[in-house]
Amino acid sequence: MHVTRIIAVRHGETAWNRDTRIQGHTDIALSDKGRWQAERLALALRDEPIAAFYASDLSRAFDTASTTARAHGKPVQAHRGLRERAFGRFEGLTWAEIEAHHPEDALSWRKRVPDFAPPGGESLLQLRERVVAAVDEIAARHPGEQLMLVVHGGVLDILYRAATRLELQAPRTWDLSNTAVNRLLWTPEGLGLVGWADTGHLQDDGALDETTA
């Protein structure tokens, strides 16, 4: 059986990442630091055989992917199924503001209640269904090839859990660093984990471990 190799990357840093402000579906551009990270990523992956590039249609992910894709002379295909979790009324708020103004919702969010959705947003169950379906659809197009997905912290969290068979409520013990290189294998039976959170290309400026969506 042919497997599909996946390089899964979180977008570069944004100002809202630095401020711990929830982005969700809000389209926030890369910061200067984020663009630097994207350039470093492109340099690190310049000799990798990558058959296709896919990204969330939100600019912070699409622009990060485009930097590496240009180095390979290939386009980026935008896919809405790779978007970050929709956070509804949480979007634009910092963690502290959510705790202060919506304490009950904040508790459900912190406890990772699978069916909890911020008003106007998605639950973890809905996010998992959307993300896994999108990755299955994309990976099935590329048997025996390697592709790159540039996504978001929440999406990567779902992929890690799918690859390691961890429940949605299990505490997170893995990094979701901006532009870290994460490697997965896909078959029709599901995902497997190869490597996670390689930030060697960022060593000149330290690796980030931002967890803001």
Angstrom distances, CA of residue 17 to CA of 10, 44, 68, 162: 12, 23, 21, 25
Which amino acid would we find at residue 138? I
Strand, coil or helix: what is 174?
A: coil
Q: What is the DSSP string of 22-88?
A: --TTS-----HHHHHHHHHHHHHTTTS---EEEE-SSHHHHHHHHHHHHHTT--EEE-GGGSPPPBG
**Which residues have a catalytic role annotated?**
11, 84
Measured CA to CA, the distance from residue 198 to residue 9 in angstroms comes to: 10
